Structure 1
Amino acid sequence: MSETIAPVVSRLYLSQLAPGAVQSEIRAMSLACDAMGGINLAQGICDTPVPAVVEEAAIAAIREGHNIYTRLDGIGRLRTAIAVKQERDYGLSYDPESEVLVASGATAGLHAAVMALLNPGDEVLLFEPFYGYHVATLKSMRVKPVFVPLADGDFALDVDALKAAVTAKTRAIILNTPANPSGKVFTLAETEAVAEVCLEHDLFLFTDEIYEYFVYDRQRHIAPATLPEMRERTIVISGFSKTFSVTGWRLGYVTAPAQWMGAMSYFHDLTYVCAASALQHGAAAGLEQLPPSFYTQIAADHQSKRERIVSALRDAGMTPSVPAGAYYVLADAANLPGATAAEKARELLKATGVAAVAGSAFFSKGRGENLLRFCFAKKDVDLDEACARLRQLR
């Protein structure tokens, strides 16, 4: 009698996460744009000039030998400069020795915070339209994102919808203000409503404030940690990519109470070891030496860029939602050929050489298919050329 041989099952296979992980539509459009030599308004590259003091300090740091590992939470000079900045701008006091983490980009700051503070199966509320990397970071930790849609058109917060989204598994809310991709700046009343939900249900608040200086039309950025009883539960995440036009440096930071910071620093060290040493000196110099007028000029310059792209989109028959902050515009693409937003983005690229991102990348399934996102943080010559090309659609 012959023996039955069990089939061989390979132990070589992808993780449970991998099959659902796809290249972001932002990166995909950047690649498609590069392939045809187009103008990239898809990715928030921010290719405006780097402040001279930041650039020169980083170069000097390399030459002075600042090329080895730093402390896991960053160099003391930069941690101190960040603490001074938070006190100056918002009256928030953080100890640079125990409450500031220099991260390898704001994305790494969120990654470390999620690893340190959340568990698989926890739920986190995000406002829709959302930034895809927030969602992907949560999913990579087996944390469930729960979307709270903002109102169509003006992106107003529906407080009742926010409250209804809270369950026994909810552990945190992510608040991105000014927001990518909508440019929404949460008002004081809306921020207070978010804080009230956090306090009522004992939730963490993760804030992405990287566009804090990109505010227009006399709008004001509200730092949620400044609200009563919120500092102890707010994990403030920001960085220098946008403010200093150094997106490729991957340099961000986290400020948070000391009781949470130790674990976050550990997980950042585990994944990234430390942020680039010499580049930290460049950012520190910027924080120390750039005057207040530098930050107000950022807003003025980008408001001018906003007006140009908004005008061009209107002329092209793509009605824009005028952003109050950040440097993106969501525009109506219903008149473009294509059944989906991704198809519309590729048709636009083919017709004009201008790359945008499918609006569906920022919404839950089935939404955003008639929207495209455009980035206007570009050199004037490139932005003006993109606007001219878009007007060809008339």
Structure 2
Amino acid sequence: MDLTASLPLAARADGLQQSGIRAVTRRVSEVDGINLGQGVCDLPTPEPIKARAHQAIRDDESIYSHYAGIEPLRRAILEKEQAYNTVPATSPDEVVVGVGSTGVFVSAALTLLEDGDEVILFEPFYGYHRNILELTGATIRYVPLGGPESTFDRAAMEAAVTENTKAVVVNTPANPSGKVWTREELSTLVDLLHAHDLVAITDEIYEYMLYDGAEHVSLASLPDAYERTITLSGFSKAYNVTGWRLGYGVAPAPIAEKMGLMNDLLYICAPRPLQHAALAAFEDLDDDYVPQLQADYAERRTLMCETLEAIGFDVPWPDGAYYVLASFDGRADAREGFTDDAAACDTLIKEARVGSVTGRSFYRDPTDGHHQLRFCFAKEMPVLRQACDQLRDAFGG
């Protein structure tokens, strides 16, 4: 007898299923292909960070840390937020270290939102943002934003705001679109935050991945914005430690305190030895680390975008992050296997042994992404070149 068939699961668990991104990862593995779908960032971790991890383990840094993170790391994050992001935080008490930026997003969402609240989410969105927001019981109000060439539409957001709207989520640079919000757009958003008494959660995990002169601006750095902004970032993407699960949030102390307590309830603390290792990102890396990272990703972006253009995709080159959300609209009627995003994803796996992510993964209405695929170019250059060669061999160009 299958007892699980009659177990009374919570309603929040009923709709949970494996994400399309992870499903593609499995299918690509089955054909010994190259996964440009999941943003795992399989580049090597910088040696100074690995050395600090080894030293922390040798030093038996193994007990629970403060629930908001070790004080030296919180202070280093504070100094980075002041210097690079110009966020006007003043104390380590305004910093929370958690289990990845996603874990800190969970803590922030559960701290702010509950049944009856509404939250604004821009499309195309990052799927984990949507799914986590749904777990809070809040209602999501979707606002179209578009890709790197698009501009934030104040009127569209105002049309979505109601008396129950409490928060807005901003992802810049954005996954999956590569859009980088401008200072002017964020200033307009600040006006709306005040006009409607809203709080913003900003996911800035790709803050160093910028191209063609794009500028990363933290919403919290703008006048009169910090007191109603939670800024999220982390170490996963910039330092190639996605599996270490280290992220952080910066917010006014009353909010940060509750987020830290929520973090304690959910996770106790982030892995302590890895917190010590993360200090190397601020203390041991050369000054040219970020400029070199940007140059390396710019080279990868060019290779990825030129390849997709060569095989017939319409490619909005991203201004930030390390994804391309490309359209195959011109191929849809010209070649079998491209009727929609699911078919195209399957065709790329079968014929080129390359994984991507279906466009429907990033929209409330699946038809909005039915001629789009997302590609991740955070790969070692030989691997990315091989993937691009396989795409060209399979589809021309």
Q: TM-score range by the shorter chain?
A: over 0.9
Closer, same or farther: CA 151–110 of 1 in aligned 2, 3 Å: closer
Runs of 4+ in 1 over 4 A off after TM superposition: none
CA distance in 2, matches of 1:102, 1:31: 31
CA distance in 2, matches of 1:285, 1:93: 23
Greater displacement, 279-288 / 249-258: 279-288
1:98 is aligned with what amino acid?
D
Closer, same or farther: CA 344–11 of 1 in aligned 2, 3 Å: closer
Contact 2:148 2:319 in 1 (8 A): no
Greater displacement, 133-142 / 29-38: 29-38
Partner residue, 1:24: 19
CA distance in 1, matches of 2:363, 2:85: 31
Contact 1:132 1:361 in 2 (8 A): yes
Asked if 1:205 corresponds to 2:200, the answer is: yes
Partner residue, 1:387: 388
2:383 is aligned with what amino acid?
D
1:384 is aligned with what amino acid?
R
CA distance in 2, matches of 1:356, 1:90: 32
Partner residue, 1:298: 293
Contact 1:76 1:96 in 2 (8 A): no
Structural mapping, 1:298-317, within 5 Å: 298-317=293-312
Asked if 1:341 corresponds to 2:341, the answer is: yes
Contact 1:354 1:386 in 2 (8 A): yes
Asked if 1:230 corresponds to 2:225, the answer is: yes
Partner residue, 1:5: none
Greater displacement, 74-83 / 281-290: 281-290
CA distance in 2, matches of 1:287, 1:125: 33
CA distance in 2, matches of 1:327, 1:228: 29
What SS does the corresponding residue of 1:320 show, helix, strand or coil?
A: coil
Q: CA deviation digits over 1:69-120, x for unaligned, max 9?
A: 1110111111111011111113324344411110100001110011111111
What SS does the corresponding residue of 2:375 show, helix, strand or coil?
A: strand
Asked if 1:359 corresponds to 2:359, the answer is: yes
Contact 1:83 1:93 in 2 (8 A): no
CA distance in 2, matches of 1:391, 1:299: 26
Work out the number of aligned pairs and report it: 385
- Give RMSD over aligned pairs: 1.5
CA distance in 2, matches of 1:51, 1:200: 44
Structural mapping, 1:66-81, within 5 Å: 66-81=61-76
Contact 2:65 2:272 in 1 (8 A): yes
Structural mapping, 1:113-152, within 5 Å: 113-151=108-146
Structural mapping, 1:103-118, within 5 Å: 103-118=98-113
* Residue 289 of structure 1, aligned match among 284, 290, 315: 284
Partner residue, 2:34: 39
* Residue 320 of structure 1, aligned match among 312, 315, 318: 315
Closer, same or farther: CA 156–173 of 1 in aligned 2, 3 Å: same
Contact 1:302 1:327 in 2 (8 A): yes
2:243 is aligned with what amino acid?
G
CA distance in 2, matches of 1:153, 1:232: 28
CA distance in 2, matches of 1:12, 1:359: 34
Name the % identity. Answer: 42
CA distance in 2, matches of 1:165, 1:179: 21
What SS does the corresponding residue of 2:345 show, helix, strand or coil?
A: helix
1:11 shift after superposition: 7.5
Q: TM-score, normalised by structure 1?
A: 0.95
Asked if 1:263 corresponds to 2:264, the answer is: no
What SS does the corresponding residue of 1:53 show, helix, strand or coil?
A: helix
Partner residue, 1:374: 375
Contact 2:148 2:180 in 1 (8 A): no
Partner residue, 1:52: 47
Structural mapping, 1:247-262, within 5 Å: 247-262=242-257
2:357 is aligned with what amino acid?
V
1:22 shift after superposition: 2.1
Q: CA deviation digits over 1:116-156, x for unaligned, max 9?
A: 11111211101110001000000011111111102467232
CA distance in 2, matches of 1:381, 1:168: 53
What SS does the corresponding residue of 2:93 show, helix, strand or coil?
A: coil
Contact 1:332 1:372 in 2 (8 A): yes
What are the ranges of 5 or more consecutive residues in structure 2 without an aligned counterpart? Answer: none
1:391 is aligned with what amino acid?
R
1:289 shift after superposition: 2.3
Q: CA deviation digits over 1:317-336, x for unaligned, max 9?
A: 12211000000001112325
CA distance in 2, matches of 1:268, 1:233: 20
CA distance in 2, matches of 1:277, 1:323: 35
1:24 shift after superposition: 1.2
Contact 2:146 2:177 in 1 (8 A): no
Contact 2:148 2:177 in 1 (8 A): no
Contact 2:110 2:136 in 1 (8 A): yes
1:293 shift after superposition: 1.8
Greater displacement, 63-72 / 204-213: 63-72
1:338 shift after superposition: 4.5
